[in-house]
Structure 1
Amino acid sequence: MQPAPEEEDLTARARIRDAALRLFGEQGFDRATIRSIADAAGVSSGLVRHHFGSKEALRDECDAYLARALVRLNDQVRAHMSTSETNYLAVAVSVFAPYRSYIARTLVEGRVAPLFDTLTDLGAERLAELDEKRADPPEVSRDARATVAAAMSLSVSVLYEHVSRRLGVDVFSAEGQGLLARILLDIYSHPWLDPEEAATLRARLPEGSGSGEGSVEEKARDD
């Protein structure tokens, strides 16, 4: 299954965005310039400003584009969940591999909030389905679990060099995608703690440690 590109992907605007994603990832936001992005896209600096207005707005569009790509990927995967050809993990890695440097750098800089929030929201939707099948009710809020899961899933992009070195294969290569998919499937399907061990450790947690209830927006409204 190949993810469908956006309709705009053949336009000058899309070439500018893709050039910005690459240069922001390679050079960082401060070092990359409007001129260098324009040169990489094969357009004039004036056209970059015409489409985006400023470098900051261009970066916002890069963030929003990755979030939209994630939604499209999720929709495609869910539409093919019953087919054996679907390998969500491998597809996800291949879709975002070209943007690895951008994602890794901007995550460290505290950016790509749209991508992180979208990944968290989609994870929460999936957890809602999984929670219905749980024999034990979760003690931590769905949003809290989805937030941490999103951070864990994006960590491979940030720690790409280390993960590839330890596994002995580029995790963004075809071979690496297959290996990463198998590893994640094994981890997710075999919990590290049995219920008794988890109960023992839970009993040792300090009281009032919270359940992660409420989103960032909800807490902000309460303050």
Structure 2
Amino acid sequence: MRSDLTSRARIRDAALARFGADGVAGASVRAVAADAGVSPALVVHHFGSKEGLRRACDEFVLDAIRAGGSADAGELADVLHAATPVRRYLARALLDGTDAATALFGEIVVRTERWLAEGEAEGWVRPSADARARAVTYVSWQLAPLVLGDQVGRLLGGDPAGTGVAVRGARAGLEMLTGGLFTDDRWLAAFTAVAEETR
């Protein structure tokens, strides 16, 4: 419940939503405070500045990504429903293309690379010849529907940051990643040959 949140958490949640809608540059501390039902002075007290508030939002996003590793259906459903503001925030940050968004993307890739390496060690991720490229590509695939929001939403019938469309797209992607898309290796062989020629 919103009323159960601390004032700091209420402000952060309001900032996630406001930054997701207007971008960091387009949102004011006063607007975030009004959304959270607190004074602008309290926002400054907790976060120091709008930049401090943005950093807190980034850290919350990274924590949400870290917490999303469970394959338990009940836990996953809860995480996905709670993550809609996180997805909207990420979409806007990536579209704004700020230095902060670049750093956030890099941190997501680093954490994903670590997660996939752990999966390899545990046996539920196949080994890769290029672990960094795999992580970058995986993250890019996951975030592309958010960046292409209008187009994806038009074709899938809803907001890509909303749970329904996000789950539909993620399930299709995971179906390809788990079962494979192609029935032979012609494209893999062709691109492997090109990669070897360009070394």
- Please, what TM-score do these two structures have when normalized by structure 1? 0.71
Kept in 2: contact 1:170–1:176 (CA 8 A): yes
Alignment of 1:151-162 (within 5 A): 151-162=140-151
| 2:197 is the counterpart of 1:202 | no
Rounded to whole Å, the distance in 2 between the matches of 1:119 and 1:96 is 18
- Please, what TM-score do these two structures have when normalized by structure 2? 0.78
More displaced, 22-31 or 111-120?
111-120
Rounded to whole Å, the distance in 2 between the matches of 1:44 and 1:169 is 35
Number of matched pairs: 192
Kept in 2: contact 1:25–1:101 (CA 8 A): yes
Name the residue aligned to 1:182.
Answer: 171
Rounded to whole Å, the distance in 2 between the matches of 1:205 and 1:122 is 24
- DSSP-derived class of the 1:139 partner: coil
| 2:163 is the counterpart of 1:163 | no
Kept in 2: contact 1:26–1:101 (CA 8 A): yes
Kindly tell me: are residues 18 and 175 of structure 1, through their superposed partners in 2, closer, same or farther at Cα, counting changes over 3 Å? closer
- DSSP-derived class of the 2:68 partner: helix
Name the residue aligned to 2:44.
Answer: 49
Which ranges of structure 2 fall in alignment gaps of 5 or more residues?
Answer: none
CA positional deviation for 1:49: 0.8
Q: Which amino acid aligns with 2:181?
A: P
Larger Cα-atom Rg: 1
Rounded to whole Å, the distance in 2 between the matches of 1:201 and 1:53 is 50
CA positional deviation for 1:99: 2.9
Kept in 2: contact 1:123–1:150 (CA 8 A): no
Which ranges of structure 1 fall in alignment gaps of 5 or more residues?
Answer: 210-223
More displaced, 45-54 or 186-195?
186-195
Kindly tell me: are residues 173 and 138 of structure 1, through their superposed partners in 2, closer, same or farther at Cα, counting changes over 3 Å? closer
Alignment root-mean-square deviation, CA: 3.1
Q: Report which structure shows greater RCO (CA 8 Å, sep ≥6).
A: 1
Kept in 2: contact 1:94–1:172 (CA 8 A): no
Name the residue aligned to 1:13.
Answer: 8
Rounded to whole Å, the distance in 1 between the matches of 2:148 and 2:12 is 25
CA offsets 1:131-189 (integer angstroms, 9 cap, x no match)? 7869x96332x123112211221112222221121123444555435533431232212
Name the residue aligned to 1:101.
Answer: 88
